[in-house]
Amino acid sequence: MTNTNMKLNAGADAYRTIDPMTGETIAEFPVMDDEALRGVITRSDTAYRSFRHLPLAERTEMLARAAELHLERIGELAALLTMEMGKPIAQARSEVELVASIYRYYAERAAVFLADEPLDIAGEGTALVSTEPIGPLLGVMPWNFPYYQVARFAAPNLALGNTIIVKHARNCPQSALAIERLLLDAGLPSGAYINAFASAGQVAEIIADPRIRGVSLTGSERAGSAVAEVAGRHLKKAVLELGGSDPFIVLADADLDAAVAAAVRGRVSNAGQACTASKRMIVVNAVYDEFSRRFIEALTAIVPGDPTDPDTALGPLSSASAGEELDEIVREAVDKGATLHLAESAGRSGAFYPPGVLSDVVPGMRAYREELFGPTAVLHRVANIDEAIELANDSPFGLGSSVFTRDERLADEIARRLEVGMVWINGSSRSAPDLPFGGVKASGVGRELARFGIDEFANKKLIRSPLASAAG
């Protein structure tokens, strides 16, 4: 295989489970060698030749079983999330339940999504579009939702008949292995889904291989740019789900109880480590003082706790380095004149980071443009609706957003003016199998979930017959 000079965190030499609370290395798995990598690609390609021809009912039966197994193993699976990336156990269980619903959704809906689509054409004869698989795919997955991110990619493509190779994040290897084991137990044939402990350089090698027909990445802008470059060079389809700095607009007539609760939830869920978490609170002047007082008070009152405790709302970040990266952005903003409203840290060590709010953030500060991946919010005051929309759109990102107002007509108008992929009216972003997920600008390319997710790596084949239809 040729070296494509891709740079994606190069230098990593192992996959490790590291307890975010203590920094202790619990388990370690070596990166596969190049011979093993070639074997993975061969297995995936060989499996595709038969998997694509399995009756759809058999593939969807496997997905339905995968949904059942997620629920049967929810305790084990959730515990792995808590151990590997510090997700509070109650939130970890919710992630597993969401994943089960995604596999179940495609098991139940794939036949509708993959049905031939007759076309209304001019002239005699018939035409239809057949939705067919394209071949082995690579998924490059992140650590913040280890099961959910994989399910968004794997479930629709396994239903379609594509085979899957997944290169998971280096800090959740046991979660990665648990997914592979579960899908095999659900009846997937060997090679249909393969976990690959690949290096960053090997990711480029996989994409370059002519047997691989597409790649899906969820991760950073830098990683997305690198993957897109290699995929483009080799004419491969790429779906990129990248970062977000979601605006959270609060208008004068908003229900402040609901708005404050949603804003707090958006900053502490998964310790704020979600691309669709509400990050920029944009509040009109008429209610700014009241909202900011209540929001700062509620957020900074939350004390990070033991993620194994079912009552814990805010656990540690995924690693100590994640806290250091967030702190650099926060401290830079403060040094340039921003105000930090910070909770007491409760003296915890490890990867715990106290929740906080930055106000007086202006252009020129990293916090104005960059994604804050942790329990720190940015709070903006604006004079009116137009200024709120202008500020919301003044971002390199365009993933999700929220608008709080009692005026449904106005909410719809604002939603259509926002340069984002998703808008939530009087609520914060959430995921569901039947809702398409994706963004614009630096937030990525393509969509996952719902009907749209099954079409991204599909051959939409036209079949045109010049013969008159039987009815004619």
Q: Which residues are catalytic?
A: 241, 275
* Tokens of residue 8, six digits: 């994606």
Residue 199's closest CA among 34, 17, 27, 1?
34
Which contiguous run of DSSP H or E holds residue 338? none
CA atoms of 452 and 448, how far apart (whole Å): 6
Q: Which residues pair with 14 in a beta bridge?
A: 30
Residue 29's closest CA among 18, 42, 20, 16?
16
Provide DSSP, 114-164.
Answer: TS-EE---SSSSEEEEEEEE---EEEE--SSSTTHHHHHHHHHHHHHT--E
CA atoms of 212 and 215, how far apart (whole Å): 8
Residue 334's closest CA among 354, 355, 362, 353?
362
Residues in the chain: 472
Contact 223, 229 (CB under 8 A): no
Contact 383, 284 (CB under 8 A): yes
CA atoms of 246 and 396, how far apart (whole Å): 11
CA atoms of 60 and 50, how far apart (whole Å): 15
Strands (E), 278-345: 278-284, 339-342
- List % helix, strand, coil for the chain (3-state, nearest 5): 40, 20, 40
- Spell out the residues 6+ positions from residue 463 whose beta carbon is closer than 8 angstroms to its own: 127, 128, 129, 130
- Spell out the residues 6+ positions from residue 416 whose beta carbon is closer than 8 angstroms to its own: none
Strands (E), 219-296: 237-241, 246-250, 278-284
How do beta strands 440-441 and 424-425 pair?
unpaired
- Spell out the residues 6+ positions from residue 437 whose beta carbon is closer than 8 angstroms to its own: 152, 241, 421, 422, 431, 447, 448, 449, 453
Residue 263's closest CA among 231, 299, 225?
299
